[in-house]
Structure 1
Amino acid sequence: MATTNARGTNAGQVMDATFTPEAHRPAAYAWAITRIGLGFIFLWAFLDKTFGLGFATPAERAWLNGGSPTTGFLKGTGENALGGVFTALAGQGWVDWLFMLGLLGVGTALLLGIGLRIAAVAGGLMMVLMWAAALPLETNPFLDDHLIYAVVLAGLALSGAGATWGLGARWAATDLVRRHPVLR
């Protein structure tokens, strides 16, 4: 059994001299800015596809106007390695609903700083699927922004990024989250 010394470290373990809450505050701010920015990206994609705000989705192709939020991207994957699988999913109602709920849920969770574990898994899965739909990649043999976003989502959840400029600390203190830590 390990013993601890007055500094709270295991006996024989050297404590990093730079490990203080003040030294890690800039990192917490950087993670918070990343969380909020990435949350805005997800939520903006949801809003633009829902209402056709004219950025990536013109008004006539808005989800509220009968457009499919998945058709444009997935139909364009036909020539790719897994294109047949993804092309078959394009425009299906259940795929549209899952995609849009994912964008809304992940974006909202990131902006509020709550439920980051589930948001990281759901958003990471969305990103990996979009990466797979684009294979083979045009500009890099393996890595693209979708995989980087997936890694960043994991980092946000693992770093507790919801506690800085978010509701993560309050959320974690609720009875529900204490009983079900996966909701953190």
Structure 2
Amino acid sequence: MAVHQPTHRRSPFHLPSLRGNQAATGPEADVSAGAGTRTAQAYVLAPARVLMGFVFLWAFLDKTFGLGYATASSKGWIDGVSPTAGFLGHVAVGPMESTFHAWAGAAWADWLFMLGLLGVGLALTVGVALRLTALAGTLMMALMWVAEWPPAQHLSDGSASMSTNPFADYHLVYAVMLIALAALSAGDVFGLGRLWARLPVVRDHGWLR
């Protein structure tokens, strides 16, 4: 006598198993959606990253070669003029007045400041090491903000500083932007962020990303 094996009819509402190239659901879908959002944000912020990089690079070039913009011709670093003496030496008020006066014109301060401008500018433009860049750039911006201690101060030569807002100025805006660029991996778009992240030393030390 033949034995009939039970058969299962497929319901017209049967959903196929989500495998292979099928779309994922649950935590996997959340991760995928999060990655997509992160990439979209990186696309939005990438132009800002490149422009900010040029701001730092231009400051480095102008102060080094005296291009005649913020730094007068023949007053560049290569002409023997300290890039920190003028700014730090004229700080007239603020909690770090005496400290900044002591730093003004010191060789180590000149080198740290100029290398900071160059390093932050290159890293932003290329899109690598944004976490370290955010840390270094934020520290630089914080020191410059304290040097122009608000509200608007009068420098020792009688002129007024650029700080006319009692709290927020461009130094703080730059600092926040640096942190945002690093947090959203803005170097992955129009930059070398993804290649940089694959380097063994960077994979082993997340703070280098």
- One fold, TM greater than 0.5? yes
Counterpart for residue 101 of structure 1: 115
Matched position secondary structure for 1:45 = helix
Q: 5+ unaligned residues in a row in structure 2: which ranges?
A: 1-23, 153-163
TM-score, structure 1 as length reference: 0.86
Q: Is the partner of 2:91 in helix, strand or coil?
A: coil
Q: Which residue of 1 aligns with 2:80?
A: 66
Counterpart among 137, 142, 154 of residue 128 in structure 1: 142
Q: Which residue of 1 aligns with 2:26?
A: 8
Q: Distance in 1 between matches of 2:87 and 2:44?
A: 31
Listed as ranges, the matches of 1:146-165 within 5 Å are: 146-165=171-190
What are the residue-to-residue correspondences of 1:139-150 with 2, within 5 Å?
139-150=164-175
* Equivalent AA in structure 1 for residue 25 of structure 2: R
Q: Give the structure-2-normalised TM-score.
A: 0.76
Counterparts of 2:104 and 2:188, CA distance in 1: 37
What do the CA deviations read for 1:19-42 (whole angstroms, capped 9, x no partner)? Answer: 683x66553222101110110001
Query: What SS does structure 1 have at the residue aligned with 2:149?
Result: coil
**Higher deviation after alignment, 172-181 or 122-131:** 172-181
RMSD: 1.9
Q: Please say which structure displays the higher CA radius of gyration.
A: 2
**1:113-135 superposed Cα distances (whole Å, 9 cap, x missing partner):** 00101110000000000001111
Give the deviation of 1:164 after TM superposition: 0.4
- Give the distance between the partners of 2:177 and 2:64, measured in 1 at CA: 25
Unpaired runs of 5+ residues, structure 1, are: 1-5
Aligned to 1:3: none
Q: Is the 8 A contact 1:82 1:135 kept in 2?
A: no
1:178 positional shift: 0.6
Q: Is the 8 A contact 2:42 2:187 kept in 1?
A: no
Residue aligning to 2:204: 179
* Aligned mates of 1:120, 1:19 — CA distance in 2: 23
Structure 2: distance between partners of 1:78 and 1:19: 48
SS of structure 2 residue aligned to 1:59:
coil
Identity across matched positions, percent: 52
Task: Give the AA of the match of 1:150.
Answer: A
